Amino acid sequence: MLVDMRLAVVGKGGAGKSVIAATLARTLARRGHRVLALDSDPLPGLSLSLGADVPAEPPLLAAAERGENNRWRFIHGVGPVRAIQRYATDAPDGVRLLQIGKVTREGMAPVMAATQAFYMTIHGLGRAATFHDWVILGDLPAGPRQTAFDWAPYAERYVLVVEPTWQSMLTARRITRIARAARAEVEMSLVVNKVAGEQDAPRVADFLDLPVAVAVPVDEGVRSAERAGAALLDHAPDSPVVRAVERLADHLEGSSIH
Ligand SMILES: Nc1ncnc2c1ncn2[C@@H]1O[C@H](COP(=O)(O)OP(=O)(O)OP(=O)(O)O)[C@@H](O)[C@H]1O
Ligand SMILES: [Mg+2]
């Protein structure tokens, strides 16, 4: 089994992070990897793209409490490993999914405990021997805000999803700069998504000064899966995006330490 696949999928809003992260998680699980998917977006894109249930209440709500000085802590008997074992849910193809929990009509306040528990869990993950040979794959919310390492401290590689637009490329450049300033040795895999012409992928690669790991074409199957409320892998298993994600999985397996 391969180790060291600790991935955070990042990029501008709407670039296609959740679709690619979800399809990648299930593709790797089908190849025999144990996969822990982390959805830190209160608008639970990853969970929906996986075809997983989004519970009305985040399971992690029960994992944290306020202790002395009003500071958040895990409840007795729970640490990062136990939190995952107890509060992660099953997604298709054997993927285990930890969700931060969705925002309610009342905003973030009611899910504060879940947010805190999620944060403490991802920060304890790096040292957890239990998950040393798992693929850990996080889908971060849009833009650079959550990527300043605080929300992906486990990540050894960023999967940078970029559309061939100025806005998307500029955001991607900002993310790479922030990431490298925080930790110089972080690896980058560039995914150019919604490619429509031959020049799209090289243009993005040039701009970011990164090689293209995979170019993903614009694909009607993605929208049609969304309209059907189904995961792309279930709705259109032979679609070009699914095939491109297979190549991304090859690239990641080839880049990780055996
Ligand atoms: N290759 C593709 N071809 C066509 N449409 C795509 C493709 N990839 C993504 N999309 C569409 O782009 C939109 C955004 O996709 P997705 O939700 O995965 O992006 P995201 O980066 O996770 O967005 P957010 O930042 O809002 O979480 C969706 O409507 C999806 O259908
Ligand atoms: Mg998303």
Domain range list for the chain: 6-255
205 burial level (CB within 10 Å; 0-12, 13-18, 19+)? middle
**Residues of the chain falling short of pLDDT 70:** 1-4, 142-149, 257-258
Residue nearest to atom 31 of ligand 1 (CA): 223
Residue nearest atom 10 of ligand 1, based on CA coordinates: 16
Residue 15 Cα: closest atom of ligand 1: 21
Residue 15 to residue 108: CA distance in whole angstroms: 25
Q: For position 101, what pLDDT does the model report?
A: 85
Q: What pLDDT, on the 0 to 100 scale, is given for residue 257?
A: 60
Ligand 1 atom, smallest distance to 41 CA: 27
Select from 10, 223, 239 the residue to mutate for testing ligand 1; criterion: most ligand atoms less than 8 Å from CB: 223
Backbone φ, ψ for residue 151 (5° rounding): -105, 5
Dihedral of the alpha carbons of 130, 191, 217, 17, in degrees to the nearest 10: 60
> Given this model, what pLDDT does residue 149 score?
62
Q: Which fold has domain 6-255?
A: Rossmann fold (3.40.50)
What integer pLDDT is reported at residue 126 of this predicted model? 77
Q: Which ligand lies nearest the alpha carbon of 19? A: 1
Q: DSSP 3-state assignment of 22? A: helix
Q: Which ligand neighbours the alpha carbon of 20 most closely? A: 1
Between the CA of 14 and the centroid of ligand 2 the distance, in Å, is 7
Closest ligand to 223 CA? 1
> Which tokens hold the place of 244?
């491109």
What are φ and ψ of residue 161, in 5° steps?
Answer: -95, 120
The DSSP H or E segment spanning 65 is strand 64-66
